[in-house]
A and B are shown apart, each in its own frame.
Chain A
Amino acid sequence: MKAPAKVFLAGIVVIGAVGWLMATGISETGVYFLTPSELAQRVEADPSFRNIGVKMGANVVRGTITREVATQTITFRVTDGQTEWPVVYRGLAPDTFTDDVEVVVEGRLDDGGVFQATTLLAKCGSRYEAVPEAP
């Protein structure tokens, strides 16, 4: 085999490997990003959907946040205007997490219909720009 052909072939192998890594990476680590209403629809259509980890983007319902510092547990409700879900999160909340902010929670719905969140991201309000936040 000539050199260009060898290198070309090796190149194809590399590209294939990268493609394979990406495809499996997405199927293994990809997470649905849903609104509260979409989550309700999915669960209704297929109850086993509860066991799949999802991300949910929604607004915090004003006045529903309760924090228990001793156990590091935060409970609150989220809504998209149509559907509301109760959320339980254990851990440190980001500084920007307050009433009426937009949040992204990642976790799964338990059998009691409570969203058990493992991560909590809060987006800042529109009052200022360029606010970065950690996962």
Chain B
Amino acid sequence: MTILGQLALWLSFLLAGWGVIAGVLGGRRGTPAYVQSSRRATYGLAAALGVASFALMVALVRHDFNVAYVASYTARNLPTPYLISAFWGGQAGSLLFWAVILALFAAAAQWITPRRHAPLMPWVAAVTSGTTLFFVAVMLFAANPFARLPFTPLDGNGLNPQLQNPGMVVHPPMLYLGYISITIPFAFAVAALMSRRLDTGWLHAIRKWTLLSWTFLGIGITLGMWWAYVELGWGGYWAWDPVENASFLPWLTMTAFLHSVMIQEKRGMLKRWNVILVALSFFLSIFGTFITRSGVISSVHSFTQSSVGYWFAAFLILIVAGSAWLLTTRFDDLETEAHLESALSREASFFFNNLLLVGIAFSVLWGTLFPMVSELVRGTQVTVGPPFFNKVNIPIGLLLLGLTGIGPLIAWRHASARNLTRHFTVPVVVALGVVAVALLMGGREFYPIVTWALAGFVLSGIIQEFGRGVGARRRLHGEHPLAALAQLIGRNRRRYGGYIVHVGIVIYFVAFTGAAFKVEREASLMPGQSLELRSPFGHTYTFTHLGVSQFTQLNRFISAATLDVARDGQRVQVLTSEKRQHLDSFGRRQFEPTTEAAIRYTLAEDIYVVYAGSVEGTDQAVYKITINPLVTLLWFGGLVLLVGGIITMWPGAPRPPGPRGTSSAVRRTEPAQVGV
């Protein structure tokens, strides 16, 4: 089977190489034969990498331990879902996963892109094939998933127990899908620059792709938080670790792009900036992969160090050099068509939105790289941790949250006094009301109160928009309110889907404020002894230690400590936290023991219990108990984000297509407030 995989990899290598050559020739000369050939190379590449992936999957499921990769990441007693997730659990396999998904996306892009963008397609094929070529080359020459061992071990090493979690089965693929799909917008940007077809055509071609990749990244990051929360047992979901930051960076620049692209579509402004943002997002997605693999930045998440880092470094330099060359040689083609008319306009608010998003991205990148930078400059490593990231990003994030409420409501070009009072009276009153209520209830924490006030500001603005839209439809068409709401969203999916995404973002921000009210305690309890904790919502929790039991389950030996939880004197739940010792097929200990936190989820506050161990020779158990307010909102916010994302990219044309060609002049006269 590995021979098949190996052959498929070499075939992909040749196909990807040909895809680049044919794409460039087809793009330059327009020869139909080359254009056709580059498209077919893209399809062939997807098929060949599909075969390679199939071969690796079969090797994993069949326990072919002669394959080094299978022996390193799986074992006979590993449950089947984790055999499959081992596909992306290790270095070489995750490279293959990346390559095959990219090839599939590239094939899909060739397949579904409307005919009017045909002149861009050979260039797109060249870029996607070139990127795939890079990953295939790394596999063939540095990290081959089909490499064989000189002998066949009886059993494999098994998968790291912390990766044996349902969250870990879905989180990395989601994140990878987000990372990988950024390649498609980048390919279109390069295609537009190479062919100098720099009207809004390429922006239309990539709209769905950017939304897709942004949504995948957002969901992937959220699932990563969920996994960290459930599996790592420290009671939090985000630690500003380099690998977490690496996934956050392209999400930030993509968010900036999704907004600034609207300015280019409507007004023909920010053209250069948009090209830079797409290139930057692509760069950061590869950079994120580089950080996790090279060992350049010490992160506890990293894969082991390997020569793969040099390959990535070279590829990153190529991306920067290529993008810089394209931008400078096409600089004049990207001349802006309009200028800013007022500081009180949607253009200006989007400009600040971009500035803040890129500011956050820059500070996160700086903090992540600072240990390396300081070592180069001063000879001593200086590290920065969560305090740095929080200090910088909380104020910027709150400004951004405020803009979330302003941007969609303020008028294009120039906001009149009437526009401002019409849209912002209610939100401002709501925000002030939230502050008053918070202060009256005894709240004194600055950032949380500001966050809640801004959340009220943004949400009431959005509700007002929906209300006005529904009201207008009811007057015009006499529809039932719910029908009017469905019609309103369905007919302007991008706008109202965007509002729903904003609601999701607001929910995240409110969830973050819960961290300020976290209660944490360590306790050493004899059976029957209890601990009392008062929660920020005013409940009194009593935790009573019931005892520790030990047993074997699946591929692990478990010590389980059980707590009885009572809220305000009422028993509510029994929570069991486990220490797991993973065993190999021969019942020997394998890996370090892992901790399984016990969590009681409620909308307001989670109870998070970690069993830290027993005092030797006794039944006395040590617990770490955390009351985590508002964490559940995060997962709910993720869901809202997903729904909003799906609405914005739902296929089909909601409106008849506008006039073609240089249509920005026409589009400019379109009323800014459709449906009001």
Question: A residues near B, CB below 8 A?
Answer: 3-4, 6-7, 10-11, 14-15, 17-18, 21-22, 24-26, 28-34, 38, 55, 57, 67, 69-70, 72, 91-92, 95-98, 104, 121, 123-124, 126-135
A67 to B374, CA, bound (A): 36
Residues of B within 8 A of A96 (CB): 592
Residues of B within 8 A of A98 (CB): 592
A11 to B358, CA, bound (A): 12
Residues of A within 8 A of B391 (CB): 21, 24-25, 28-29
A131 to B236, CA, bound (A): 17
A41 to B341, CA, bound (A): 60
A26 and B384 contacting across the interface, CB-CB below 8 Å: yes
**Within 8 Å of chain A (Cβ to Cβ): is B91?**
yes
Closest to B595 in A: A95
CB distance from A28 to the nearest CB of B (A): 7
A72 and B243 contacting across the interface, CB-CB below 8 Å: no
Known A-B contacts A22-B363, A69-B622, A129-B91; the reply to A134 vs B234 at CB < 8 A is yes
Main secondary structure of the interface of B (DSSP, over half): mixed
Main secondary structure of the interface of A (DSSP, over half): mixed
- In the A-B complex, the 5 residue pairs with the smallest Cβ-Cβ separation, listed nearest first, are A134-B234, A33-B381, A29-B387, A133-B300, A18-B359
Residues of B within 8 A of A133 (CB): 232, 300-301
**Within 8 Å of chain A (Cβ to Cβ): is B383?**
yes
B228 and A7 contacting across the interface, CB-CB below 8 Å: no
A38 to B375, CA, bound (A): 13
* Residues 368-413 of B at the A interface (beta carbon under 8 Å): 370-371, 374, 380-388, 391-392, 395-396, 399
CB distance from B65 to the nearest CB of A (A): 15
A32 and B593 contacting across the interface, CB-CB below 8 Å: no
A7 to B386, CA, bound (A): 32
Known A-B contacts A130-B160, A130-B301, A130-B303; the reply to A7 vs B387 at CB < 8 A is no
CB distance from A26 to the nearest CB of B (A): 6
Closest to B300 in A: A133
A7 and B392 contacting across the interface, CB-CB below 8 Å: no
Residues of B within 8 A of A7 (CB): 340, 343, 348, 351
B89 and A3 contacting across the interface, CB-CB below 8 Å: no
- By size class, the interface of chain B is 35 or more
Residues of B within 8 A of A22 (CB): 363, 366-367, 392
B90 and A129 contacting across the interface, CB-CB below 8 Å: yes
Interface centre among B348, B382, B615, B616 (most CB of A within 10 A): B382
B366 and A21 contacting across the interface, CB-CB below 8 Å: no
CB distance from B614 to the nearest CB of A (A): 7
B343 and A3 contacting across the interface, CB-CB below 8 Å: yes
Residues of B within 8 A of A31 (CB): 382-385
B383 and A55 contacting across the interface, CB-CB below 8 Å: yes
Closest to B91 in A: A129
Residues of A within 8 A of B616 (CB): 69
Our pick among B304, B380, B382, B385 for the contact of A135 (Cβ within 8 Å) is B385
Q: Mark B578-600, 1 if CB is under 8 A from A, else 0.
A: 00000000000001111100000
A69 and B366 contacting across the interface, CB-CB below 8 Å: no
Give me 7 other A-B pairs in contact (C-beta within 8 A), A33-B382, A70-B620, A92-B624 excluded. Answer: A14-B359, A28-B391, A30-B370, A69-B622, A70-B622, A130-B301, A135-B239
